[in-house]
Amino acid sequence: MTDLGALVTNIELSSQAGGRSTVTFPTLKELSVTDALAGCELPGFQLDVSFSCFPDVVAIWSSVSEHVRQQLMQKKPRAVSVTGLGMFHVKKWLSFENGEVLMFHRPAFALAKAVAQIRELQHASIPVPDEMKTVAVSHKKIRSDVPYPEAVVQNCMQETLDFFYFILTNREDADFTLKDLGTLAIRGTAATMAFSEDFLLTLNKSTYVVEKLLTQKWVTSDKEVAFSPSRFGRVHQFPQFEIRAVPRGAAHTDEFRVFESLLSSMGLGGNV
């Protein structure tokens, strides 16, 4: 079970010791990842009494995922920006096959420059059509789903992304999962947005269309990247703040050994 407070404190101390610009996580220190809150009370936060205990950070990001899904599934879908992560939209087209006209709904993702520039990540993205309306995930909307003030929701999202950036800056691999939508998988300098097959089916209403999207490699299934190899043999999972073992993709390098040392200093070393 992740002790998020201790984890982010280790990152702050490691950042200071390494002579880097200091990163701090004041909001994450007050939230939990998998632990239920005792009495659902946090210092300085007034919570809605109608809510019972829940996993805080994951709940907030689950609400983000649902907001994105709702926008993408509208009859006139919008491009949806998750600030600091990337932009989602849906590309539609008609195809005449086997005597019938099929409608394809292909979800697409463009990686945010803030992420891509961290270590020159390579990511294939489809431009958002000029005529498509673009909206950003609303912190106010997310706040309506969880018992926190809007500022806490916004800070939680930003600090989660700051931690994600920290891991990428140190050249570690990571998966950022948006529940029931898909997973952004980072391996080395490659970034892949893989979508949930259930979401593809909900979007297209046809198993044949979904199968064709996958077999033609027009989209990638999150099942394909779940255990994609990493040269470290492990992947950081967000927003759970966990480390998951995956197949090792390459031999140790000097860079790997340097990062092993960093992980140890953060209390995260050792085989997973």
Least confident of 122-136, 177-191, 231-245: 122-136
pLDDT digits (tens, 9 = 90+) for 34-84: 543 433 444 444 433 333 333 689 999 999 999 999 999 988 888 999 999
150-169 helix and 56-72 helix, angle to the nearest 10 degrees: 90
Confidence label for 162 from pLDDT (cuts 50, 70 and 90): very high
Q: Spell out the residues 6+ positions from residue 9 whose beta carbon is closer than 8 angstroms to its own.
A: 29
Query: Alpha-carbon distance 29 to 11, whole Å?
Result: 12
State the average pLDDT for the chain: 81
Q: Spell out the residues 6+ positions from residue 22 whose beta carbon is closer than 8 angstroms to its own.
A: 12, 15, 16
Is the pLDDT at 190 greater than 90? The verdict is: yes
Q: Where are the beta strands (DSSP E) in the chain?
A: 79-82, 86-97, 100-111, 134-136, 174-178, 182-187, 190-195, 220-221, 234-238, 242-245
Is residue 20 classed as helix, strand or coil in its secondary structure?
Answer: coil
Q: In sequence order, what DSSP letters do the residues of 208-221 get, joined into one string? A: HHHHHHHHTTSSEE
Least confident of 15-29, 130-144, 189-203, 238-252: 15-29
Least confident of 24-38, 77-91, 245-259: 245-259
Residue with tokens 């907030």: 60
Which pTM does this prediction carry? 0.81
Is the pLDDT at 223 greater than 60? The verdict is: yes
Query: Alpha-carbon distance 87 to 89, whole Å?
Result: 7
